[in-house]
Each structure stands twice: as structure tokens, then as C-alpha cells.
């Protein structure tokens, strides 16, 4: 089979490797599609390498859909369409076949394009995060920094949660156009425009009730501190920009005293509840995913696809891989 191999920082190749065999409680999945996550970009280009190199076949891909072809679990049989949500350290979605623990698979309904249901992986992580970021009653104003696939899902979820107004900031005008179509009250094109100013103007100088950082950069987390109101809430979803210590505006955070929530571990949630709910929302058409379905490149062009994702999609929101054997 063909599989992506991470050899070193920024060095990705597509190799021919043996098809793996499933062990007890595992299934072999013939992969159909995978998507590149922002965290994959950080792993490949920012030095978040696994302990053993080269990386396992298909790593760091962790968003995928496919079909079970062999199973050592009573929960799945050959022919089942599945969403694969492996723990990221065990992920191998950038490959034509992948062994996945049965507890990391979500069975998919028939009659819905697998390409659309692939987006339930990213949506599930944002559903899980939203519960942590805003567990209370609907708020007035929220802000989302970063209009990638995660940021635009946060926009839709916060609108569903009852926020009156949502501000969305990004560097790419095409993504901001989509944000407007999805219900953003204000869009901010950085760096010429400032998300902090937008939040203060919209709230009479108080700041947003909730600010979600979904870009994965230290400068954006600093902006989030300035954009939130006193004793508001901050949700840090973006991946760390670097290993080890990182700059943080501690004094400003101390004076504002916001509640700060991080999120990880959706793949370990009992019953994969958030991923299952994400599938249901997409099937019922209650969350829009059409803008995420293109472009799709063949697995042989995976290094190019990762470069495009690193370049903020060159106007696209999501970069996908066709893994069909």
C-alpha cells in the first residue's frame, strides 16, 4: 500500500509499505479519504516529531473515513463504513490501509457521502471543546480567531448555542466570506484590521464574553486576552506553536482574570459521544460542510497537499487526500 512517512521536520515522502494486520480488538480499514488538520501542519513543520523516526505509516493523519475489510472485534464486520478517530499518537490515516482499535471507530449510516461524513472528525473535536469553553447560558458576543475548518465549526456551534453576535478573524478573505455566509456578525481581516478593536467596538469597550483561539499561534492567544471582557472565558483550541515554554501576556491575563480552558482528548471520550453527535448533525444538515470538500489531492501528492495546508490552504479551508487504492 501507499502511505505517507514523516522522515524529519518538513520532510514527508510517500512510500510503499506492507498492509498491516489487525490484532485483537482491532479492525483493518481500507481508507477512502483523509483530511489535513492544522495540528498535522504543526507536527510536520514545527518539530513535534514522534519519539521514533521515521513516523509510523500514515502518521500524523487522524481524520479519515473508509471501509472495514477485516475485523477482530464483534462490533464491526467487513463492509462497515466507518469514521476513523484514532488517538493522534497512534494515528495512521494518511495511508491506503490502516489498523484501528475498535474503540476508535464510528459506524457511518448508509446513503450519505463519506466525503461529507469525514468532516465529523473535526466537527466532533469542536463540539467537545465548545462544551468546555462555554458550559453556561447563551452569551451576547463571542469571537473566533482563525477561520480554518475548526474556527468555522466554532462559529456555527456558537450560533447554535445562542450567542447573539459572533466575530470571526482570519488572514484569508475567502474564508471570511464563508464566515459571513455562516452567520458571523463581524469579520476581521488581519493584520490590517484588529479583532481586539472589533470586539471592543461591538461591546461598548467591555470585550467579548467568550474568545476562542483556533489558529494555533502565540500572537493569537495574546490577542484573545485583550479581546475578552473581565472575568470572561477563553477557549484555547489551537495547537502549541512550539515545544517547551512559550510567551504569554501574564500580567494582562492576571488583571482581567478570565477563565481559561484548554481542550484535548476527544478521542478518549466515553462512547465517542461528540463524534457520533457530529455525524448526526451532518446527516441532518444542521451543520454546513460543503465548503470543506475541495480541493482533494491523490495520496501521491501528499507532500504538496501538506505544503498547501501550511500556506493557509491558498484560499481553501480544508485540504483533503484521496486514498482510494
3-class SS letters over 105-154: EEECCCCCCHHHHCCHHHHHHHHHHHHHHCCCCCCCEEEEECCCHHHHHH
Q: What is the pLDDT of residue 173?
A: 97
Residue 212 to residues 224, 280, 312: CA-CA distances in angstroms? 7, 24, 19
Fold of the domain spanning 123-262: Rossmann fold (3.40.50)
Segments in the chain below pLDDT 70? 325
Q: What is the pLDDT of residue 298?
A: 98
3-class secondary-structure state, position 308: helix
273-283 and 120-133 helices cross at what angle (nearest 10)? 120
Q: What is the pLDDT of residue 165?
A: 98
Q: What is the pLDDT of residue 118?
A: 98
Q: What is the pLDDT of residue 233?
A: 98
Q: Do domains 2-119+289-322 and 123-262 have the same CATH topology?
A: no
Q: What is the pLDDT of residue 123?
A: 98
Cβ-Cβ contacts under 8 Å for 3 (sequence gap 6 or more): 14, 15, 16, 17, 57, 58, 92, 94, 95, 96
Q: What is the pLDDT of residue 149?
A: 97
Q: What is the pLDDT of residue 315?
A: 86
* pLDDT one-digit tens code per residue, 126-137: 999 999 999 988
Nearest to 63 by CA among 93, 103, 106: 93
Domain 2-119+289-322 in CATH 3.40.640.10? The answer is no
- Global pTM reads 0.97
3-class secondary-structure state, position 15: strand
Nearest to 3 by CA among 85, 90, 94, 91: 94
Residue 122 near residue 266, CB atoms below 8 Å: no
CA dist., res. 205 & res. 198, Å (int): 10
Domain ranges for the chain: 2-119+289-322, 123-262
Amino acid at each position: 500500500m501507499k502511505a505517507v512517512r514523516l522522515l524529519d521536520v518538513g520532510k514527508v515522502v510517500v512510500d510503499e509499505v506492507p498492509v498491516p494486520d489487525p490484532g485483537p480488538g482491532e479492525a483493518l480499514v481500507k481508507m477512502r479519504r483523509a483530511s489535513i488538520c492544522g495540528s498535522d501542519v504543526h507536527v510536520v513543520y514545527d518539530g513535534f516529531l514522534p519519539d521514533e523516526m521515521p513516523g509510523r505509516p500514515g502518521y500524523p493523519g487522524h481524520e479519515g473515513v473508509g471501509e472495514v475489510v477485516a475485523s477482530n472485534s464483534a462490533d464491526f464486520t467487513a463492509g462497515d463504513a466507518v469514521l476513523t478517530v484514532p488517538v493522534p499518537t497512534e494515528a495512521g490515516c494518511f495511508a491506503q490501509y490502516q489498523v484501528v482499535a475498535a474503540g476508535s471507530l464510528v459506524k457511518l449510516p448508509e446513503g450519505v457521502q463519506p466525503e461529507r461524513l469525514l468532516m465529523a472528525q473535526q466537527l466532533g473535536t469542536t463540539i467537545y471543546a465548545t462544551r468546555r469553553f462555554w458550559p453556561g447560558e447563551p452569551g451576547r458576543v463571542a469571537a473566533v480567531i482563525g477561520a480554518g475548518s475548526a474556527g468555522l465549526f466554532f462559529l456555527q456551534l456558537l450560533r447554535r448555542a445562542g450567542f447573539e453576535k459572533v466575530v470571526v478573524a482570519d488572514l484569508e478573505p475567502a474564508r471570511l466570506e464563508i464566515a459571513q455566509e455562516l452567520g458571523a456578525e463581524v469579520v476581521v481581516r488581519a493584520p490590517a484590521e484588529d479583532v481586539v478593536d472589533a470586539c471592543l467596538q461591538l461591546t461598548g469597550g467591555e470585550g467579548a464574553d467568550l474568545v476562542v483561539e483556533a489558529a494555533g499561534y502565540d500572537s493569537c492567544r495574546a490577542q484573545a486576552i485583550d479581546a475578552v471582557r473581565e472575568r470572561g472565558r477563553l477557549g484555547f483550541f489551537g495547537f502549541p506553536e512550539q515545544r517547551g515554554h512559550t510567551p504569554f501576556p501574564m500580567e494582562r491575563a492576571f488583571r482581567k482574570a478570565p477563565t481559561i480552558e484548554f481542550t484535548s482528548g476527544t478521542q478518549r471520550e466515553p462512547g465517542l459521544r461528540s463524534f457520533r453527535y457530529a455525524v448526526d448533525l451532518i446527516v441532518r444538515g444542521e451543520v454546513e460542510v460543503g465548503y470543506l470538500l475541495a480541493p482533494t489531492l491523490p495520496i501521491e501528492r501528499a507532500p504538496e497537499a501538506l505544503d498547501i495546508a501550511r500556506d493557509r490552504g491558498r484560499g481553501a479551508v480544508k485540504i483533503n487526500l484521496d486514498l482510494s487504492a
